[in-house]
Chains A and B, each alone.
Chain A
Amino acid sequence: MNLAEHLKRSAVLGIGISVLLTLVLSTWMFHAEESDLRLQHKQRLALLHTNGLALAVANISVEETGKRVRDIQKLDPRIESAIIVVGMQLVASTRDEDAAPRQLKREEKPLFDLSNLIRTAGETNRGEEVVRKKTIQIDEKPSGHIVVTVPYLSDGQFAGILQMKFNTEAAEMFSPLPDSYSLPLLFLLAALLAGSLLRMNTDRKVDVAKLLALGVFLAIALSYQQQRLNRIEQMMAQANQSIAANYLATAEQYDRLGYLALPRDSSAVNLWDTDHYQRPLGLIAASGNVSAKAQAAYFDKRGGFLKRILASFDLLGLGVLLMFIYGYAARTFSALKEHADAYTYVAPAMIGMLVLVFFPFLYGITLSFTDTTLFNESLPFQDRLIGWDNFKAILGDFNLYERTANGIIWNYQNFYWTLLVTVIWTVSNVTIGVTVGFFLAMALNTEGLRGKAIYRVLLILPWAIPNYITALVWRGMFHPQFGVINQVLQMFGMQPVAWFDGVFSSFMTGLATNGWLSFPFMMVVILGALQSIPKEMYEAAEVEGADRWQRLRYITLPLLKPTLIPAIVLSVVWTFNMFNIIFLVSGGEPGGANEILITKAYKIAFENYQYAYAAAYSTVIFMILLVYGTFQTRVTKATESF
């Protein structure tokens, strides 16, 4: 038995590659998760100490505050420094050279700005009754220090900020488990061993060896993932214990010094251990006990997302394995080898398209299922996921108009209004383009017409000029005060029109502009088709006694059709997404009434910064075009077959 035949029957390659793929992906995921946990722990520890200090110095006199801050810093070597800023005053500082209290210096202005930022964040949250803005700022310095800034309260009111520089190098981290690669390697070896032992029967669809291969893959992948998941859970528990120990030790010192009483009541909320919005995490009780229930719930939430991703890796690996088992991989490989030439030629363009067209497209689609805006971009993906809500909001909003005493008021922000405008826009533009193009092509195709070449060059000119320039030029010509078009109206004694103030007149500005720049395309296409119609056909028809109309109806139009239909499809798609004209000429005025779908999506993304909503909007646009394209090709095919 030769090697190729051997490999075909052995499961070693399939299991090896699928397990390797799944292990690499999972390890990468776990690695990211663990470093995230470590970072979080570091920040949580720093925040814990800062919160504690803030509680210990809240609502007391300025002198006492200064003293306590210095005392507490001496207790804990990890606290590098701590300062308190109220307004333009540096109230307290642990550094002697600061000579607090004093006025802030000019170069310390950022502290004043930060204080204002945190105050307004708190006010915004209270005003909106939601927690949107962070009231705690955590910065990581390259030196390994963490700088935490929290609000400083006086008389129960926001007074200023407390900023602590915390040294995490000296901080005893919860002992990190060794991040070795021996574990995945071990699992991989096991997989290879099992794979090399299995012999598959290539003639049968299902045999024991195939089932065993699948079983081996699943067993290895799942047990490895479970191992690592356990480790994550262990790390979380360790983190909580470490935080609890830190908390207890410090809180007891505060208690002894009489700064802050340590609550013995185990149901009291621990205000030291909070998130970035000053909300207690609830993982550790005020008495210092770790809440097992909260910890389990936290792990479920975090691990739940992880598990879903891991499951998708498993499915991927399973798919790869099935490809190998059933010989698709071998066939793909031989196809690659056989058509190596073709794939080499296609590869550069394909790779470019995959990275810069298809990947962004899929990314955009994914984005449309979240509630990403400019403000929550940095949140983890799972927190932004909202499912179909964006699409429901877009397609399910039928609040198209309002009935008032003065008649109907249209809601220009509604999706269906914009869709209607877009459809009218597309249909009228394509109609104008085809009609004008057709008549001009017929005229230019007249036999014996002089100066054909000059007409053609001049009439093609609007197509040659960059369309954004055309748009801006027409915007200038429609200028309500100095624009040429109003000058012409006034020349004939008419009143000037405020073009961009009326829904209809504003629509006409876009239509005029786009009509002007789109007829040459149709003209050129139709002219080309007309010229390819043999003259003999007309001559024969003339001999038969057909009049002009009949020649047009039975010769010209049918022979134009194969050229005209693709041109129309193309121009429908172009016009539907004709961003530049609407955006630059009328800008959708008045009040967004003349927005088409694509400009609306742009404005949602870059003026309202609702990235996800804009992505969903764009996805809807794509679906509409896709349906149109499919429908159109069906119709075209059906008519062609006649």
Chain B
Amino acid sequence: MADIKTKNHVWLHVALISFTVLAIYPVLWVLALSFSGQQSVGLIDLPKDPSFLERFRGILPMPAHWSIKNFTEVWTDQDFGRWMWNSVVVSLMTTALGVFLACTAAYAFSRFRFPGRNTGMLMFLISQMFPGTLMLIPLFIIIVKWLELGNTYVGLVIVYATTAIPFCVWMLKGYFDTIPYDIEESALIDGASRLTIFWRIILPLAKPAIAITALFSFMTAWNEFILASIFMESELNYTAPVGLRFFVGGFSSQWGYFAAGSVIVSLPVVALFLQLQKYLISGLTAGSVK
């Protein structure tokens, strides 16, 4: 052990640094592309017979000319601002609804023993295996044809919130189980109602797990593009993911806009993710191992 310490882990650092470079290269590449001010997928124009060094320059994630043109144009010339707004509204509404539904259900599963409890939990688990393609057409029929919620935020929100429920409930229930029951018991004896206990004791104690649930619900809505592309017919109602795919899917190749849009879309989730990552391990393991 002692001899490893004196080595300062040089080789370990070399290995870790090279792997980290590999891991973040695509991120740097998108960043470079977004600041390149052009639409091509290549960062610089290579001369006809490029030398080793010229090629090396080509793969360095550095744009030939720095410019914020892609950012300004994607915001002004394209509908991207509108799409971002749609995504923000849908995701926040999904988070609010999803956390509410998951917290109440998880509390019941954790604290009450009632007929149908095990069946309910099992059903939640099995529903995780339902292939999305099986649900697409029925959901389209229910939301768009029957409820006539196509092209609305509400239609997407209720579908996203319910699809996120099972995972959130399992995770939260695992966490609620670790909160000692004694606290509640003494509160009950003191005459507190179930609702007060849930609101005043359980929820504040479960903050880390709720944070993860919120993140998960938010990401479900923020990152989904298939349902959104089916429900939202008019271009103005696209969410950001549908819009981003619109830039580089099919026959269009506006890589610059795509890169700039991706950076804008990713920033909030990456920030949230890194903020909440300290809860990530405890939240995930409490739910899955128990």
A residues near B (Cβ < 8 Å) are 332, 335, 339, 341-343, 345-346, 348-350, 352-353, 355-361, 363-365, 367, 440, 443-444, 446, 448-451, 455, 457-470, 472-477, 479, 482-484, 487-488, 490-491, 516, 524-525, 527-529, 542, 562-563, 566-567, 570, 573, 577, 579, 584, 597-598, 601-602, 605-606, 611, 614-615, 617-619, 621-622, 625-626, 629
CB distance from B156 to the nearest CB of A (A): 11
B interface list, Cβ under 8 A from A: 1, 5, 8-9, 12-13, 15-16, 19-20, 23-24, 26-27, 29-30, 33, 40-42, 50, 52, 55-56, 58-59, 100-102, 104-105, 107-109, 112, 114-115, 117, 120, 123-124, 126-139, 141-142, 158-159, 161-163, 165-166, 169, 194, 198, 219, 222-223, 225-226, 241, 244-245, 248-249, 255, 258, 262, 265-266, 269-270, 273-274, 277, 280-282, 284-285, 288-289
How distant is the Cα of A455 from the Cα of B14 in the complex, in angstroms?
12
Q: Is the CB of A353 within 8 A of B130?
A: no
Q: Say whether, besides A468-B241, A468-B245, A482 and B40 are in contact (CB < 8 Å).
A: yes
Which residue, B9, B23, B166, B222, has most C-beta atoms of chain A within 10 A? Answer: B23
Which B residue's beta carbon lies closest to that of A449? B9
Q: Chain A residues with Cβ under 8 A from B56's Cβ?
A: 491
In contact, A466 and B222 (Cβ under 8 angstroms) = yes
Q: Are A367 and B137 in contact (CB under 8 A)?
A: yes
On chain A, the residues within 8 Å of B105 by CB distance are: 345-346, 348-350
Minimum CB–CB distance for A210 against chain B, Å: 24
For A359, what are the chain B residues with a Cβ–Cβ distance below 8 Å?
138, 142
Are B41 and A476 touching (Cβ within 8 A)?
A: yes
Main secondary structure of the interface of A (DSSP, over half): helix
Given contacts A458-B20, A466-B241, A468-B225, is CB(A566)–CB(B289) below 8 Å? yes
A602 to B135, CA, bound (A): 11
**Given A358-B123, A360-B142, A598-B131, A346:B109 Cβ within 8 A:** yes
Which among A349, A359, A474, A487 has the highest number of chain B CB atoms within 10 Å? A349
- What A residues does B20 contact at CB under 8 A? 455, 458-459
Q: Are A465 and B27 touching (Cβ within 8 A)?
A: yes
Interchain CB contact under 8 A, A460 and B281: no
Instruction: Report the 4 A-B pairs with minimum CB-CB distance, sorted nearest first.
Output: A618-B134, A482-B42, A342-B112, A360-B138
Q: Indicate whether A339 sits within 8 Å of B26 (C-beta atoms), given known contacts A348-B104, A468-B223, A472-B248.
A: no
**Of B27, B127, B159, B285, which one neighbours A525 at CB under 8 angstroms?**
B285
Partner of B12 from the list A443, A605, A619 (CB cut-off 8 Å) is: A443
Q: How far, in Å, is B171 (CB) from chain A's closest CB? A: 11
In contact, B131 and A618 (Cβ under 8 angstroms): yes
Most A CB within 10 A of own CB, among B23, B107, B128, B134: B134
Checking A350, A451, A573, A614 against B129 with a beta-carbon cut-off of 8 angstroms, the contacting residue is: A573
Mostly, the B contact residues are helix
Complex Cα–Cα for A476 and B117 (A): 48
Give bound CA distance, A457 to B273, whole Å.
Answer: 10
Max chain B Cβ within 10 angstroms of own Cβ: one of A484, A606, A619:
A484
Say yes or no: A349 contacts B42, CB within 8 Å: no
What is the bound-complex CA distance between A468 and B9, given in angstroms? 36
A345 touches B139 (CB 8 A): no
Q: How far is the CA of A350 from the CA of B162 in the complex (A)?
A: 9
Query: How far, in Å, is A206 (CB) from chain B's closest CB?
Result: 26
CB of B262 to closest CB in A, whole Å: 5
Q: A367-B138, A487-B55 are in contact. Are A339 and B114 (CB under 8 A)?
A: yes
For residue B42, which residue of chain A has the nearest CB?
A: A482
- Check if B9 sits within 8 Å of A446, measured CB to CB: yes
In the complex with contacts A458-B20, A473-B26, A476-B41, A529-B285 CB distance below 8 A: yes
| In the complex with contacts A357-B163, A468-B245, A487-B58 CB distance below 8 A | yes
Q: In the complex, A332 Cα to B116 Cα: how many Å? A: 11
Q: Which of B15, B40, B273 has the most CB of A within 10 A?
A: B273
A385 to B281, CA, bound (A): 49
Tell me, rounded to whole Å, the shortest Cβ–Cβ distance linking B132 to chain A. Answer: 7
- Known contacts being A339-B114, A463-B273, A468-B223, is A363 close to B141, with CB within 8 Å? yes
Contact at A461–B289, with CB atoms within 8 Å?
no
Question: In the complex, how many angstroms separate the beta carbon of B32 from the nearest chain A beta carbon?
Answer: 10
Tell me if A440 and B114 are in contact (CB < 8 A): no
Question: Which chain B residues lie closer than 8 Å to A360 at the CB level?
Answer: 134-135, 138-139, 142
- Indicate which residue in A462, A605, A617 contacts B137 across the interface (CB closer than 8 Å): A605
